[in-house]
């Protein structure tokens, strides 16, 4: 029984990462109908910056995280203005997606040149990630607890922003109907950029908090990005809470598959899920189908 709890907890922790990235992806997609392929790499750079500053530049850990998040926000602001904004007026999303691919290729190589291709493991203050508590037979890693708390805090903040602030209102308006929102006098470019920044910050937090769980490697966030995307699909890509739920579900599925199924299958699980969901419920597991094609 403890075995199952252990696996479930493990799945939940991975699920937090997928949920956060899924949320970040859905946020931008929902408001601007854009998929940001650079999201994973951006999140990875945040994580690298924070831990690299803390461990190699002797900046206090908290300050390093703050700097990293500020850099992420500012960098995203610049990237959106320089690359995405000029293409938005064309009204075709494909060039924008391709643009984010170019950005991802560019940034991935910047980080490769900066930190090299080898995996590193930086220490976190107090070696929290090496503290394990035993509760009966159940083993609880202290850092995993940090991950869980960070996830809840992040989700609460995002929830607050979306439900209580003007930005959130603008995001909802655009998600509902782009044209109507514009007609109501909501400035598309303002809403879009702050959505991007918010999404990048959620990604950044994920990158930072998961770096000690994974090895810090140039592309360590890519796998999380993919799975975050699967989470978003599970949730129907248009529902924030669906994305989060999808992430947690995926984490659990994965944890239990690794336990029982052969490794080849465990590796293919995300794709299998994507295919099945797309074929049976393209609108996601948790949302009802809506809308129709207008001709």
Partner 1 sequence: MSNNAEIQENALQRAGIPLPKFLKKNHYFGFLGILLVYLLAGTYSEYSQTIMNTIIFAIIGASLIVVFGMAGQLTLGHTIFVAAGVFLSANITTVWSRGLETEIPIAFGVAFLLGLLIGFPSLRVNELYLALATFAVAFVGVQVLFEWKQFSGGGSGKPVGKLELFGYEFSRGPTLVRIALVLMLITFWIVGNYQDGRTGRAWNALRTSETAARAAGLPVAWLKILCFAIGGGLAAIGGVLYAHTLRFAIPENYGVSLSIIVVLALIIGGKHRLMGAVLGAAFVKWLPELSRDVQEYEGLIYGGTLIILTLIAPDGLVGMFEWLGDRIKNAIPSNKDEIVGSTSVSASALPLESTFLAPLSSSEPKGNLIVRDAAVAFGGVKAVDGVSFEIPAGGVTGLIGSNGAGKTTLFNAITGHVKGATGQFILDGTEISQKPIHTRALAGVGRTFQNLNLHDDLNVLEHALLGLDRNIGYGRIAESFRLPWVLREERKAHYLAAELLDHMDLLEYWDEKVEDLPYGLQKRVDVVRALAANPSILLLDEPAAGLPTAEALEMMKKVQEYATHISAGVLIIEHNVELVADVSDRILVLDAGKTIADGTPEEVTRNEQVIAAYLGT
List the interface residues with partner 1, window 142-171 (CB under 8 A). Answer: none
List the interface residues with partner 1, window 14-53 (CB under 8 A). Answer: 29, 33, 35, 37
In this structure, are strands 132-135 and 138-141 parallel, antiparallel, or unpaired?
A: antiparallel
Compose the 263-282 pattern: x for residues touching partner 1 by CB under 8 A, - for all others. xx--xx-xx--xx--xx--x
Compose the 186-225 pattern: x for residues touching partner 1 by CB under 8 A, - for all others. ------------------------------------xx--
288 touching partner 1, by CB under 8 A: no
Tell me which stretch binds partner 1 (CB under 8 A): 15-23, 99-107, 136-144, 187-195.
99-107
94 touching partner 1, by CB under 8 A: yes
78 touching partner 1, by CB under 8 A: no
Pick the binder of partner 1 from 26, 28, 54, 99 (CB under 8 A): 99
* Footprint on this chain of partner 1 (rule: CB under 8 A): 29, 33, 35, 37, 83, 86-87, 93-95, 97-99, 101-110, 112-113, 222-223, 226, 229-230, 233, 237, 263-264, 267-268, 270-271, 274-275, 278-279, 282, 292-293, 295
């Amino acid at each position: 029984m403890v075995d199952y709890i252990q696996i479930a907890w493990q799945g939940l922790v991975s699920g937090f990462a997928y949920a956060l990235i899924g949320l970040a992806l859905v946020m931008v997609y929902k408001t601007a109908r854009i998929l940001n392929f650079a999201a994973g790499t951006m999140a990875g750079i945040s994580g690298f910056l924070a831990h690299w500053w803390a461990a190699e530049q002797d900046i206090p850990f908290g300050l390093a995280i703050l700097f990293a998040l500020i850099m992420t926000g500012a960098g995203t602001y610049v990237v959106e203005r320089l690359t995405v904004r000029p293409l938005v007026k064309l009204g075709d999303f494909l060039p924008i997606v391709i643009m984010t691919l170019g950005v991802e290729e560019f940034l991935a190589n910047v980080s490769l040149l900066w930190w090299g291709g080898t995996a590193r493991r930086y220490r976190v203050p107090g070696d929290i990630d090496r503290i394990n508590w035993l509760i009966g037979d159940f083993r609880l890693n202290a850092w995993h607890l940090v991950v869980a708390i960070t996830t809840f805090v992040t989700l609460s903040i995002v929830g607050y922003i979306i439900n209580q602030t003007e930005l959130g209102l603008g995001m909802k308006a655009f998600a509902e109907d782009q044209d109507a929102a514009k007609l109501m006098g909501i400035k598309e470019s303002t809403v879009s950029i702050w959505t991007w920044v918010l999404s990048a910050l959620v990604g950044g937090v994920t990158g930072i908090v998961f770096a000690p769980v994974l090895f810090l490697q140039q592309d360590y966030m890519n796998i999380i990005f993919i799975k975050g995307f699967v989470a978003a699909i599970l949730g129907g890509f248009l529902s924030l809470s669906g994305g989060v739920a999808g992430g947690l579900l995926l984490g659990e599925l994965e944890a239990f598959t690794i336990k029982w199924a052969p490794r080849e299958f465990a590796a293919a699980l995300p794709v299998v899920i994507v295919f099945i969901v797309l074929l049976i419920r393209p609108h996601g597991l948790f949302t009802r189908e809506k809308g129709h094609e207008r001709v």
